[in-house]
Amino acid sequence: MSAPTFTTLVSRWYQENARDLPWRGPDVSPWAILVSEVMLQQTPVVRVVPAWQAWLARWPEPAALAADTPAEAIRMWGRLGYPRRAVRLRECAVAIVQRHGGRVPDRLDQLLALPGIGTYTARAVAAFAYGQRHPVVDTNVRRVVARAVAGESDAGPVTRPADLVATEELLPAEPAAAALASAAFMELGAVICTARAPRCDGCPVESVCAWRASGQPAPTGPTRRPQRYAGTDRQVRGLLLGVLREATGPVPRQRLDQVWADDVQRSRALAALVQDGLVEPFDDSSFRLTGDTPLPT
């Protein structure tokens, strides 16, 4: 398969069919793009859009979030899931203010040095906020490249250095075109080349796809099962955090004890929230969100 042909087809398709998502607008700030990338991790777009809009309405710049408490970031995160991201995003805002004068940096090494910003997010911000040429590789992109280029049904559970190399080889030399291609690869994997029900008949690269040409072989490795939620520590943590998030002050342990009947599991979940920096003891018998402002006396 010719990489230029593949990239041209996907980019052209994207320009004509991309979803109208608010963080893709021409005047969206780098901070707003960074927030969207953090929120989109393991979270469906439909849930992220209203949360992103509310977050940016309250904290349109890093300095605004940095000046607020971790507790308010956790509250604002609501039920978006994986609330540790809210704390890390605030820590990121503080670092941006302290190290970069409140401006999201445009250098990849500086982005990677920010708290909570990993390989994917740093490259996504550099590409989508600043139009730079970097391989932006998430689960969707790895699947597209594995299928279309290597003829494999799946790219495996984790991103490897080889995935970055394979994706970078598909990018045009011109930075703006490369950034467009990165967004296009991701969109193709999200809406066409999906994991369970790929829409091959409507795919813009069907004619050059190695997986399609080889008869769409099924995965050879073990099938990954969806993670169970009901009854897990994650569910208990969510219930405890929900009570603390809605409270206007410290919550007595007695109230938290009513959330879940299993004393051992409930205590373990509460300890995990404290360890993750989401909750802190207020005194010997109550807890509050980390950094919550004490009620006036």
- Residue 144 region, left (φ>0) first, then alpha (ψ -120 to 50), else beta? alpha
In whole angstroms, give the CA distance from residue 51 to residue 70: 17
Tell me which residue of 278, 269, 285, 267 sits closest to 89, measured CA to CA: 278
Pairing of strands 286-289, 251-252: antiparallel
- What 3-state class would DSSP assign to 289? strand
Buried residues in 193-228 as b, exposed as e (16+ CB within 10 A):
beeeebeeeebbbeebbbbbeeeeeeeeeeeeeeee
Phi (first) and psi of residue 117, to 5 degrees: -105, 110
Provide the β-strand partners of residue 224.
none
User: What is the longest distance spanned by two Cα atoms in the chain?
Assistant: 72
Q: What secondary structure does DSSP assign to 156-213, as a single string? A: -SS--HHHHHHHHTTS-SSHHHHHHHHHHHHHHHHHTS-SSS--GGG-TTGGG-HHHH
Q: State the Cα torsion 52-54-58-61 to the nearest 10°.
A: 20
In whole angstroms, give the CA distance from residue 248 to residue 87: 19
Write down how long the chain is: 297
Residues assigned a catalytic role: 37
